[in-house]
Structure formats: structure tokens, C-alpha cells
Chains A and B, each alone.
Chain A
């Protein structure tokens, strides 16, 4: 099997999973207490509104017709209407998505940038002070609730030292990029961006930094003990080539699998991190829509979150397949 066919297969599977996600969200309407109208209508809706909604959703239709209509409208990019806010759900959700993506990417960059070198150093200097420190850090990191870490970071670095902002998002990363050529001052925009995004990104990324450090360390120790490493040394390869080209590459293969599996934790973490830092993203939207009983928005957000998870996992598998030839060939 070529890599192209492998990717095509994964995309097909992904479409299947997205279909499952959509179906479960559809079913969520029916586990809502009371009638399915409650899942759409605002709490204080009067009789007429409720009937209008029921007609529009086709709630008097048989279930499979409702389901078909639902799928068709989704395919047309229509995720319903929020009566609470008086807005199209699709517009609302996609206006919040960039902020969350930005936060998640920033956290991932922080995590991968720190954890892999830390794990490698820890493994190659096993039982030395660096290794102990890294072990301690990673243990604490996987055991600290990220919202609490966020609050403590605000306390020390924002409130007391005043280096960063306590909350909000002043500029988008896109605007920072635009400032390179645009009229706005690049340095000023960048500073403003960093002042807002650094703390949430660190709070969100710490768990992953810690997790990947642990995985990299133990994987690297494993790989360095394998016969192919000894054989690579026997043929005279410099130690750096043995470690990074050979051992690290094989270490990263399982690490990437786990990262894909843990992506849900990252998105879940983003929700709560957004709550701590008043970051105007999907997470804040999800929580607010639950508090407002704005179910259409909740459902739309769930679909977008589930679909992003599937998309990123396909990406992860593409990286995986280029690292490990056995995946593609078997």
C-alpha cells in the first residue's frame, strides 16, 4: 500500500467517525429532559414560538425523516439557529473557533518544543541531576489541574509581577502576522499578543509538556538499549547520529500515537483554560451556552470539536505513516 492510499483510507475512516459524531449529537436532542423542543427553544419561549420551532425542525415527522433533514442541512453548512442569541449557529461557532485553535496550537508548540529535548536529555543523562529535575517536573506537570496552574500563573506573573495580562485576547495571531507588512507596529502587536497568550498557553501546555517528557524519556531509554543502536555504534556512527537519527525517530513513533489519543484532553483543557483567562473561544462559548440553555449552539460546538479532533488525528496519522514504514506497508 502506498502512502497515498493509506491516507485516503484514513480520510474515509475519518468521514465515518464524523458521521458518528453528528449522529450522537442528533440523538442528544432526545435525551434532553422534556420534549425535543426544549433542546432548541429558549426557556422562556411562548407557545407560538415553540410550535414554530417544532414545525421548522419537523418534529412531527418520523425520526428518519428528521435525521435525513438534519444531515442535509449540516452538509449545507447549516447548524441551526440560536433563538437565545438570535444568531446563526454556524456563524457564531466559526467566529469563536480561531481563538481556540490559536490557543491549542500555541500550547502544543510550547509542549513539543520543551518536552522532546527535555525527555532526550533526561534519558541520555539518566540518574543525573538534570534527569531528577525533569522527572520531578513531569510528575508534577501531569498531576496539576491546569485551571489551578492558570490561576497561580495569573497571581504571580500577572497580578504581582505585572509581566502578563490576566485575561482576554487583544489581538489575533493573524493580526501579528499582518503587522509585518501592515501599518501597525509589529513589535508592539507582537508584545500585546504575547502578553495575552503566554499564560493560557503555558497553563494548557504544561500537562502535555510533562506527559511527552515522560514518554520521550522512557521511550528513548528503551530504544537506546535495543540491538540496532549497538549495531549502529558498531559501524562507527557518531553518537549524535545514533541518538537522534536512529533512537529518537523510533521513540517519536509511539509518542505521536499517544499525542493523537490525548488530543481530546487538549481540547477539554482548552475549554477550562479559556474559562480561567476569559479567552473568547469555543470553550467559553460551550460553557455559556450550557448556562443559557442554548442547546443549538452547544450541539454545533460539539460537532465542530468532534470534527476537529478527527481532522487533527488524520494529520497525526500522516506524520506517523511517514515515520514508521510498517504502518503503510503492512
Chain B
């Protein structure tokens, strides 16, 4: 499926591009952290510790004016004192308003983002690619129908469609046992992990059109290739031709689109959880929505840290997408929005 020429192009582009290397490092980091979250996270991300709430990240000392009133001799006396909150080495990225460790929350948030990003993309591709291939291969009515439908679904912005669907369907989620904790490791960590099922289905549903469009375009040009014609002349049935000849040659742009889509879906998922349309509370977007209330009082890190985490993950994936695009040059640019 991947020819030597493709492999050579990938390798030489990788060697010459600093950004491609950076992308791979960032993505590997996020993937590692997401998989081994129970071992990497210093605390249970859901454990509250109100005595340790609103602690700033390392290197930052927060001062806060606290006003207390008490009755002294029948009169109200207001005492204003400046409280200094120092960082705690146990919480390198600080703690949130309920004293939960930000670093651990960011680490567990990576799991949600990656799972939704990858499963959502796989779902979108599984739906979109076959439909696109069939439409492009047979052309005619099926193709017209698909293109008209694609035009209509593009008229609904992904985010709007997603929140509408979640609003109508409700937000179901599944608690999946954490395999490491179940196997007896890291017992202090959460025993289950919440998989936001509706969100995964919805982001898949709203993004399949991009895959269908790409697959259709490829199938349209591939159906007239000599080897496809030859296979047809030899009497191979259409299903076999599409699976055996068209799909393998259309795979490159689909992979590049898939990469970009993972990034787009991570952004979409964070938007959904920010707006409260996710089924889980362990998510970067959700933490940002929590942290938003603290922005005016100065605890910027509660919203800031998860946002930086999103940037790291999405920049990494986009860099890999650029690398693949430069090396494979499938001629798609800027398609596949969030």
C-alpha cells in the first residue's frame, strides 16, 4: 500500500524539516502521556483538596487581597489583608478552584482529546470513504445525490450541527475501566475512564463529508486509469476493483486529511466540552470553562494550562500533517475545517 517512493519522500522530507521532527516529538509526547496517564499523573485528577485550592504554578507567587468583616463591640469592622499564595512543588501547574492538581487534569485530558479525535476521525472516514468511493466510481445519480447532500451538510457549521444533535439526543457516556488500574497498578488513580459516546458519534457524523469529498475526487480520476480499466475488462466485480485498485491508490490524500481531521476534531471536542455539551468532566475544554470564572480574580492558570495543552497537541498534529502533505503532495490544502 505504501510504495518505496512514498517512504523515501517521507524520510527525506523528515530529515530536512525541523518542524516535522518537532511535530513527531510533540505528538509522541501527548500519546505517551495519554496512554500512561495513571503512571505519569502525580495525583488523582478528581481528588479535591480545598486547603490547597487556587495554588499557582511553580515560579509564580500570587498575592490576593482578602477582606474579612467581623463584629467588634457591636460595630462592623472590615479588615483587609494581603495574602500571599505560594506555589507547591507537589502541584507544578498549580491547582484549580477545588484544589485538584492541574498537571494531572491536563494529563488525563489528553486521553479524552486523543480518544475522541482518533475515534471520531475513524468513524468519519469509515462512513465517508466508502460513500465517496462508490459515488466517484459509479458517477451518475449516486454521485449527484452525494454532492448535493454534501453541499447541504456543508451549510451547517460542524459546531452548530454538533451542539444541535447533542442537544436533541442528550449526552450519553460510557465508563470504561482503566486497564492499568484494573490490573492492579496505580490504585490511587480513577478506576474508570469516562468515554463521551455521543460526542464521538456526533463529531464523526458532522465530519464524514470531508472524507467523502476527497474519496470521490480520487475515485473519479482513478476509475479511468488503465489498470482499473484492465481489471474491469478482465471481469473483476466492482466491489473488488474499488477495494483492491481504487482505495489503495486513493489512500494518500485520505491519510493526510485524516491527520488534519484529528486536529480539527480535538478542537471541536474542546469547544463542545467548553460549552458543556460533553459527557465527561475530565477534558481540556471543560477545565477551560471552569477556569473562565477565575480569570477576573487572577487565577489564569486554571484556564490557561489546558489551553496550552490543546495548542501543544494540535500544533504537533498539524506539523505532522504539513510533513505528510509536503512529502506526499496529494494536492489538498486547507480543506477539512473544525
Contact of B275 among A24, A142, A272 (CB under 8 A): A272
Chain B residues in 8 Å Cβ range of A39 = 168
A148 pairs with B303, CB closer than 8 A: yes
Nearest 3 pairs between A and B by C-beta?
A: A268-B159, A268-B157, A290-B167
B155 pairs with A306, CB closer than 8 A: yes
Within B137-173, the residues touching A (CB, 8 Å) are 148-149, 151-160, 163-164, 166-170
Contact of B315 among A17, A21, A143, A269 (CB under 8 A): A143
Given the interface contacts A147-B271, A305-B160, does A152 sit within 8 Å of B304 by beta carbon?
Answer: yes
Q: How far is the CA of A276 from the CA of B307 in the complex (A)?
A: 14
Contact of A264 among B154, B270, B306 (CB under 8 A): B154
B288 pairs with A264, CB closer than 8 A: no
The stretch of A28-36, A121-129, A240-248 that contacts the partner chain: A28-36
Q: How far is the CA of A140 from the CA of B270 in the complex (A)?
A: 16
Residue in chain A with minimal CB distance to B337: A265
Residues of A bordering B, CB below 8 Å? 13, 16-18, 20-21, 24, 28, 31-33, 39, 139-140, 142-145, 147-149, 151-152, 154-155, 159, 166, 207, 211, 214-215, 218, 254, 258, 261-262, 264-269, 271-272, 275-276, 286-287, 290-291, 293, 295, 298, 302, 305-307, 309-310
Chain B residues in 8 Å Cβ range of A33 = 168-170
How near does chain B come to A177, taking the closest CB pair, in angstroms?
Answer: 28
Residue in chain B with minimal CB distance to A29: B168
B319 pairs with A139, CB closer than 8 A: yes
30 A-B contacts (beta carbon < 8 Å): A17-B152, A20-B148, A20-B151, A24-B153, A31-B168, A139-B318, A140-B315, A145-B270, A145-B271, A145-B274, A148-B303, A148-B306, A149-B307, A151-B295, A152-B303, A261-B154, A261-B334, A262-B334, A264-B155, A265-B337, A268-B159, A275-B274, A276-B292, A286-B163, A287-B275, A290-B166, A293-B167, A298-B167, A306-B155, A309-B157
Chain B residues in 8 Å Cβ range of A290 = 163-164, 166-167
How near does chain A come to B200, taking the closest CB pair, in angstroms?
Answer: 18
Chain B residues in 8 Å Cβ range of A152 = 300, 303-304, 307
A214 pairs with B158, CB closer than 8 A: no
A21 pairs with B155, CB closer than 8 A: yes
Chain B residues in 8 Å Cβ range of A24 = 152-153, 156
Residue in chain A with minimal CB distance to B334: A258
Contact of B164 among A17, A20, A207, A286 (CB under 8 A): A286
B271 pairs with A272, CB closer than 8 A: yes
Is B314 positioned at the interface, with any CB of A under 8 Å from its CB? Answer: yes
**Best-surrounded residue of B160, B295, B318 (most CB of chain A within 10 A):** B160
Is B335 positioned at the interface, with any CB of A under 8 Å from its CB? Answer: yes
**Best-surrounded residue of B156, B288, B334, B337 (most CB of chain A within 10 A):** B334
Residue in chain B with minimal CB distance to A147: B274
Given the interface contacts A151-B303, A155-B295, does A215 sit within 8 Å of B334 by beta carbon?
Answer: yes
Q: How far is the CA of A277 from the CA of B147 in the complex (A)?
A: 37
Q: How far is the CA of A264 from the CA of B159 in the complex (A)?
A: 9
B168 pairs with A151, CB closer than 8 A: no
Chain A residues in 8 Å Cβ range of B168 = 28, 31-33, 39, 295
Chain A residues in 8 Å Cβ range of B156 = 21, 24, 264, 302, 305-306, 309
Q: How far is the CA of A39 from the CA of B164 in the complex (A)?
A: 12
Q: How far is the CA of A111 from the CA of B300 in the complex (A)?
A: 27
Q: How far is the CA of A267 from the CA of B164 in the complex (A)?
A: 14
A148 pairs with B296, CB closer than 8 A: no
B311 pairs with A143, CB closer than 8 A: yes
Residue in chain B with minimal CB distance to A267: B157
Q: A20-B149, A151-B307, A268-B338 are in contact. List 4 more A-B contacts (CB 8 A).
A: A16-B148, A147-B285, A264-B337, A266-B157
Within B304-326, the residues touching A (CB, 8 Å) are 304, 306-307, 310-311, 314-315, 318-319
Q: How far is the CA of A32 from the CA of B162 in the complex (A)?
A: 14
A148 pairs with B310, CB closer than 8 A: yes
